[in-house]
Structure 1
Amino acid sequence: MTGILLAVGIVAGIGLLIGLILSIASIIMAVPKDEKAEAILEALPGANCGACGFSGCSGYAEALAKGKAEPGLCAPGGLACTKAVSEILGVETGSVEPKVAVVKCMGSLDHTTYKAEYSGIMSCAAAMKIGGGLTACSYGCMGLGDCEAACPYDAIHVNNGVAYVDGGKCRACTLCVKACPRGIIEIVPKKDMATVRCSNHDKGGVTRKLCDIGCIGCKKCEKACEQGAVKVTDFCAYVTPDLCTNCGACVEACPQHCITFFKG
């Protein structure tokens, strides 16, 4: 019995000694906290979306504290966040351009079809692994909601086979952009302008067979735009936001009605 108690005492003593050594080591080797970075992190929204170009909010906060980044890169935080960060850094608040996500597809089930019946996992990424996706158009929205599931702001929903963004809720965090396996969601300036709501790059004849609202690359929009904001590349038109004056000439010229007025 004495031997057992002695063994227990020795083990307990060793444990106590190791614990004491670790406690002392943690104090000696502790990495000092950057109070400025901690304060900035508190001011950021905590979305950890990476829209700022850094590895989440902590990465952006550290870069700001070290002077390696500028305030105003946090899209979800907006102007209020930029002001708070600027106050902590003691710098002037710069301008922040509001942005929003837009789905470059209007191929709902009223305009296109599925090429096959799909009964797998309800995920666009999963469907892409089976024959490149289930929609007739290999560029269009599959409507299985990966973007909807990724959005922390309830700003994007699938309706009749295609995703739509609620501009009033969208914070331009880019999570839906990253979630879309077909890359048809784009972050654009939140302003009134024309937007091509199609991502198809097939020749016009092929596109017409797949979707009756798809861009056919006819260049009528390009010719109608006096500002040079519309260009057709690889049979698909694109509007440069900075050049668009929202005059509506391209919208009127488009025979497929795939260019729409975008309200910022």
Structure 2
Amino acid sequence: MVTLLNGVWVVTGLGLACAIVLVVFSKLMEVKSDERAEKIREVLPGANCGACGYAGCDDYAKAVAAGEAEGNLCVPGGAQTADDIAAITGKAAGAVAKKVAVVACQGSYDNTWDKMDYSGIESCKACDKFFAGRAVCPYGCMGFGDCVESCMFGAISIQNGVAVVDQALCTGCGACVNNCPKSVIKLVDAEKPTAFVLCQNHDKGGITRKGCTIGCIGCQKCAKACPVEAIHMDQNLAVVDQDTCINCGKCIKECPTHAISHILQKVEV
């Protein structure tokens, strides 16, 4: 009986000793949370969109608190969030570069056509694996709505087979850009309305016309008409330099296929 009790006391003593050791080490190895990071996280919108360059709001808050990131990188939060973060960190907020998404494609059912009947998974990424998509044009919007599903703000819809962005709702987070397998969605400066080429087709004009009635055919008429040389050709595709463009509209008038448009209205920030 005595032997049994001694064994119990030994085991109990070892357990108590281990518990004490664990408590001591937990205190020594404890990583104290940064209160500023927690406060910064509270003022962030919680979209976890990654527009700031970090995996989510938690990581961004920690980076700002540690001085590893600026406090004005939250695009969805805008100037208000930047000001709130500045009040916590004590650093100047800085300007927030307001962006808005634009779909560089007008390949609706009225303007383009399919080269095959696709009956697979209704996903842009899935369909893109089959001969670059179902449409004759291999560069355009596929219309299945991967971008719609990725948008946390309800700013994108599919209309007549092509994605359309509601600029009033778009926060410029870039989630749709990252989820478009064709890269037809672009982020542009929301505060500088300019002309924009709504096409991504790099084929020669004759080939482009076979796949779309409203695509850029590389005729260069827009580039020649631009008074400030804001347009250059990139492998048969006209590209407008948003920084240089003065939004005069001459390129729009000269485009024979109506592939260029004023795509931005002034967005209040």
Query: TM-score, normalised on structure 1?
Result: 0.90
Q: Does 1:67 align with 2:104?
A: no
Q: Secondary structure at the match of 1:241?
A: coil
**Within 5 Å, which residues of 2 pair with 1:174-253?**
174-190=174-190, 191-253=192-254
The correspondence of residues 1-264 of structure 1 with structure 2, limited to 5 A, is: 22=22, 25-190=25-190, 191-262=192-263, 263-264=265-266
Question: C-alpha distance in 1, partners of 2:234/2:32?
Answer: 53
CA shift for structure 1 position 177: 0.4
Paired residues, what number? 262
In 2, the alpha carbon distance for the partners of 1:20 and 1:132 equals 63
Q: For the residues of structure 1 that align with 2:14 and 2:214, how far apart are their CA atoms?
A: 76
Q: Deviations over 1:211-261 (max 9, x none)?
A: 000001111111111122111110111111111111111111111101111
Task: Single out whichever of 253-262 and 14-23 deviates more from structure 2.
Answer: 14-23
What is the CA–CA distance in structure 1 between the aligned matches of 2:11 and 2:105, rounded to whole Å?
68
What do you get for the CA RMSD once the two structures are aligned?
A: 2.5
The 1-side partners of 2:188 and 2:102 are apart by 7
TM-score (norm 2): 0.89
Give per-residue Cα distances to partners, 1:78-99, cap 9 Å, x unaligned: 1111111111111223222321
One-letter code aligned to 1:157: S
Distance 2:11 2:145 in 1: 57
Q: Which amino acid aligns with 1:121?
A: I
**Equivalent-residue separation in structure 1 for 2:246 and 2:145 (angstroms):** 33
Secondary structure class of the residue paired with 1:238:
strand
Q: Which whole-Å CA distance do the structure 1 matches of 2:47 and 2:245 have between them?
A: 31
2: distance between equivalents of 1:16 and 1:117? 72
Distance in 2 (CA, whole Å) between partners of 1:214 and 1:11 is 81
- Extract structure 1 runs of 4+ deviating beyond 6 A: 10-20
1:180 to 1:14, Cα distance in 2 relative to 1, 3 A:
farther
Alignment deviations for residues 189-224 of structure 1 (CA, whole Å, 9 cap, x no partner) = 113211111000010000011000000111111111
Match of 1:3 in 2: none
Shift of 1:20: 6.8
Q: Distance in 1 between matches of 2:170 and 2:91?
A: 28
AA aligned opposite 1:222: A
Residue 19 to residue 228, structure 1, CA distance change in 2 (3 Å): farther
C-alpha separation in 2, matches of 1:89 and 1:208: 56
Query: Which segments of 5 or more consecutive residues in structure 2 lack a partner in the other structure?
Result: 1-9
State the distance in 1 between where 2:142 and 2:255 align: 24
Cα deviation for residue 34 of structure 1 reads: 1.2
Relative to structure 1, the CA distance from residue 119 to residue 36 in structure 2 (aligned partners, 3 Å threshold; closer, same or farther) is same
Following superposition, the deviation at residue 23 of structure 1 comes to: 5.3
The superposition leaves residues 77-122 of structure 1 with CA deviations (integer Å, 9 ceiling, x where unpaired) of 1111111111111122322232100011001010001111111111
Gaps of 5+ in 1: 1-9
